[in-house]
Amino acid sequence: MRVAALYDVHGNIAALDAVLAEVDDAGVDAIVVGGDLVWGPFPRESIARLRELGDRARFVRGNSEREVAGRYDLIDGALAPAIVASTRWCAELLDEDELAFLGCLPEQIVLDVDGLGATLFCHATPRSDEELVTRITPDDEVAPMLEGVDAGTVVCGHTHVQFDRTAGGKRLVNAGSVGMPLEDEPSAYWALLGPDVELRRTSYDVAAAAARIRSTDLPFEQFAEMLLEPPGAEASTRYFEDARHE
C-alpha cells in the first residue's frame, strides 16, 4: 500500500486541491488525513472534498476536531480569546452531521505501508493530540511518547514542520502542513509513504488563496499573512521547543 499523508489542512481549500491533484498522479492506495482539517477559513469545503473520496480517505482526529466538535465546551480559558472565537465560528458553520463525523474520528490508525510495514498515523504523538515534538527534541524525551507502539514507523503532524528522524527505536515522520505550513517557502507540504518516505512540497497560488481569505469576513486575517510569509522551519522548531518547556 502507498499512502499520502495530508496533515494540518486547516480549511485551506486551495492548498488541499493542489495537493490532491498531485496525489492522484502519485497512484496512492489511501489518503490519511492526519487531523486539524477544519480549523481554518473554509472548513465545510475541506470536509466535503475529502469525504467525496469515500473509503480511499482515512481520517485521524486532531486537537482541532476535538475542539470544534465539542464547541469548546471543555476549554478552560487557557487559550487566547481569538483562537476560541475562531474555533466556535468553525463549529457554528458546520452542520450536525459534519460535527458528528468529526467527533467520531479515531485518535490513530495503523496501515501496512509498502516497504515500511506497520505504520501508525496520529496527530501529534501516539499518547496525545497536542503534545509537541520536533526534529530536535532529545531522543530521551521522544522515547516515552512512543512507548507501547508496535509499529516501526509513526507519522505525525501538529507542529507544521516536516522531519524524518529516529527515536525510541522508531522512525518518526512529520508530514508537514498542507494548509498552514511554518516552513521556509510558501507552499503545501505533505508526505508520500511507500516504499520509503518522501517529504513533498506542492506549489500553488498562495497569493490568490490569501486574497480570497481577505475578501471575506472570516476571522482569519493573520492566517492569510502567515501563508504569504511563513516564519521558517528553524524559527518555528525553536519556538515549539521553547513551548515544550514552559
Q: Report pLDDT for 246.
A: 79
Give the full edge-to-edge strand order of the sheet including 57-59.
57-59, 30-33, 3-6, 188-193, 197-202
Across the 246 residues of the chain, what is the mean pLDDT of every consecutive 10-residue run? 97 97 94 95 95 96 90 57 80 92 96 98 97 96 95 98 95 98 97 98 97 80 90 96 89
For the stretch 104-108, contacts whose Cβ atoms lie closer than 8 Å and that sit 24 or more positions apart, written own/partner, are 105/59, 105/60, 105/61, 105/65, 106/59, 106/60, 106/61, 107/60, 107/61, 108/60
pLDDT of residue 71: 64
pLDDT, position 214:
86
Structural element, H or E, at residue 57: strand 57-59
> What local confidence, expressed as pLDDT, does residue 76 receive?
53
List all residues 6 or more positions away from 159 whose beta carbon is below 8 Å from its beta carbon. Answer: 124, 132, 133, 134, 174, 182, 236, 237, 240
Query: What pLDDT was estimated at residue 219?
Result: 72
What's the pLDDT score for residue 88? 84
Separation in Å, CA 114 to CA 95, 151, 174, 182: 37, 13, 18, 29
pLDDT at position 87 is 84
For the full predicted model, state whether its pTM sits above 0.85: yes
Q: Please, what are the domains in the chain?
A: 3-244 (3.60.21.10)
pLDDT for position 207 = 97
pLDDT for 153 equals 98
Task: List all residues 6 or more positions away from 58 whose beta carbon is below 8 Å from its beta carbon.
Answer: 30, 31, 32, 33, 109, 111, 121
